[in-house]
């Protein structure tokens, strides 16, 4: 009995949580590509807003605006001419091209404006910690052999110029 409990705690439970989180990433990426309607402002979660001007026949997002105020110490707005959802090794990425990031940390100070040619956002970072489904270092280490150096593996943002 103790052996079954130990196996469940060390193998089955982490596997099932990883599988559930992978499904949540898939739902989030499908939400961005399918549910968000062109010309409408959509909030898939509190303090996160998306808008797209249009969607091409191959699913590319055109005229993308993403406004993120989930971190109460700063607000960030991402403006991109094009956006594409890339799914790789159980992780979804939003790849934006030709755009700007407007970041404000202080309401009285001037915002930081960052221009980019390509900008990749790991959609795992939208996993909320209160569900217990945020990615962990062990999750990424377990997939180490599958890592592609062209895309980030941690819940961070990568600027490509």
Torsion sign over Cα 95, 26, 102, 83 = positive
pTM: 0.62
Range of the domain at 65: 2-160
Once rounded to an integer, what is the mean pLDDT over residues 61-70? 92
C-alpha distances (whole Å) from 62 to each of 9, 54, 86, 107, 155 are 45, 5, 15, 30, 24
Number of domains in the chain: 1
Closest CA to 47 of 21, 73, 80, 20: 73
For residue 143, pLDDT over 70 is answered with no
Give the tens place of pLDDT for each residue, 94-131. Answer: 899 999 999 999 888 899 999 999 999 887 766 544 44
Query: What pLDDT digit, counting tens, does each position of 3-46 carry?
Result: 766 766 777 778 787 777 667 666 655 656 666 788 888 887 88
Whole-number Å distance between alpha carbons of 16 and 22: 10
pLDDT bracket for residue 138 (50, 70, 90)? very low
Looking at residue 145, its pLDDT comes to: 29
């Amino acid at each position: 009995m103790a052996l079954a409990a130990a196996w469940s705690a060390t193998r089955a439970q982490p596997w099932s949580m990883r599988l559930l989180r992978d499904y949540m990433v898939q739902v989030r990426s499908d939400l961005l590509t399918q549910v968000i309607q062109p010309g409408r402002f959509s909030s898939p979660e509190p303090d996160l807003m998306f808008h797209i001007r249009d969607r091409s026949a191959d699913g590319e997002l055109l005229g993308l605006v993403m406004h993120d105020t989930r971190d109460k110490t700063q607000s960030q707005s991402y403006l991109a001419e094009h956006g594409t959802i890339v799914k790789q090794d159980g992780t979804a990425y939003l790849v934006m091209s030709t755009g700007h990031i407007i970041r404000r940390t202080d309401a009285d100070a001037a915002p930081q404006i960052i221009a980019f040619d390509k900008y990749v956002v790991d959609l795992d970072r939208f996993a909320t910690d209160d569900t217990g489904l945020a990615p962990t270092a062990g999750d990424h280490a377990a997939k180490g052999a599958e890592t592609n150096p062209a895309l980030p593996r941690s819940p961070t943002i990568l600027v490509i110029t």
